[in-house]
Amino acid sequence: MRSLETWMDQGLRLCAELALGAGCAVAGAQSPASANDNPQSPALADGMRWQWATSAGLNSYTEGLMRLQGPEMGLHLRLSDRRISPKWTLEADVLYGRQDYESLATGRLTNIPNWETRTRALYAPAGQMTDGGALGLSYGLALHTLWNNLDGTTTTGAGGYLRKAVQFWAPLRWRENLAPGAWASAWSAETGLLLSGQHTSLLSQVSSAYPDVTNRQDKGLYLQFRSEHRQGLRAGAWSPFVRWTWLGDSDTVPFTTATRSYLGTEPLSRRWQVGAQWLLP
């Protein structure tokens, strides 16, 4: 990926060669006539654009009497091409964390690996793309996955198991540039409504007497707020964020063992994720 500085250098050299003087437009710069001008977040040049970011933060998940909490790191990608699809952006997040489990009923278990992925296709009606994404309104479709391995034995002797989920969401985002010298260069607010989800608990890892249980999830919501800060930075930007996710009770799946009948359900849960991204130039 060519950086913004490379595009600007090429534009300046082209201007000099063609001797167009002040009438030459620097590649990657936004028109001064734009009402949303912000020199710290210029519009993108035509062509494929890959923008990478890394992140670090805290992930806290609560469900009934139990809690999972620990640090996580992330890798993030935004892909756009103004020539092919000027109003569409593809985004992907991969998050990895190590969590500690604590329950009033079953004790504690530490150092649990947790993987989460999110993939989004977003449509921006205004079609004005910048380094931080589209300005104004964006909406689309997202696919989320979760892989949470509680396999092991807790401090009270209870057995853990792998939990995994696949979910489809409808995201809605608003992103706004701020004037130079403001507290941030830009901010964005995002929400998402769960369309459909499937959660699987591999109970057979606890005992061969139990079957694996798959539940359907159809009630969920997330809210996220981010600000972007470029002032005083030679390249890139840092972006603190906070994200809250709510999932309602799943459906109920009956299952039996040799000695007993059960009703399997995935109960209401809440998740907080707080941290910061570093947006690479």
Read off the pLDDT of residues 83-95 as tens digits, 9 standing for 90 and up. Answer: 788 899 999 999 9
Integer angstrom CA distances of residue 15 from 11, 28, 188: 6, 14, 35
The residue type at 227: S
248: domain range? 46-279
Indicate which CATH number applies to the domain containing 213: 2.40.128.100
Question: Do the strands 133-134 and 252-256 form a parallel or antiparallel pair, or are they unpaired?
Answer: unpaired
Joined tokens for residue 155: 């401090």
Mean pLDDT of 55-67: 96
- Asked if residue 12 belongs to a domain, the reply is no
- Asked if residue 21 belongs to a domain, the reply is no
The residue type at 110: T
- DSSP secondary structure string for all residues of 147-177: EEE--SB-TTS-B--EEEEEEEEEEEEEEEE
Q: Which residues contact 90 (CB under 8 A, 6 or more apart)?
A: 78, 79, 80, 119, 120, 121, 122
- Asked if residue 6 belongs to a domain, the reply is no
In the predicted structure, residue 21 carries a pLDDT above the cut 80: no
- Asked if residue 19 belongs to a domain, the reply is no
Mean pLDDT of 31-47: 45
- Please tell me the distance from the alpha carbon of residue 18 to that of residue 21, in angstroms, as a whole number: 8
- Asked if residue 91 belongs to a domain, the reply is yes
- Asked if residue 267 belongs to a domain, the reply is yes
- Asked if residue 37 belongs to a domain, the reply is no
- Asked if residue 229 belongs to a domain, the reply is yes
**Residue 231 binned pLDDT confidence (cut-offs 50, 70, 90):** confident
Give me the number of domains the chain comprises: 1
Question: Residue 46: its pLDDT value, please?
Answer: 61
- What's the pTM? 0.82
The tokens 């250098």 sit on which residue? 9
Read off the pLDDT of residues 139-187 as tens digits, 9 standing for 90 and up. Answer: 999 999 999 999 999 999 999 999 999 999 999 999 999 998 899 999 9
**Residue 40 binned pLDDT confidence (cut-offs 50, 70, 90):** very low
Q: What is the average pLDDT value for the chain, to the nearest integer?
A: 85
Integer angstrom CA distances of residue 29 from 124, 155, 157, 173, 232: 20, 59, 62, 24, 19
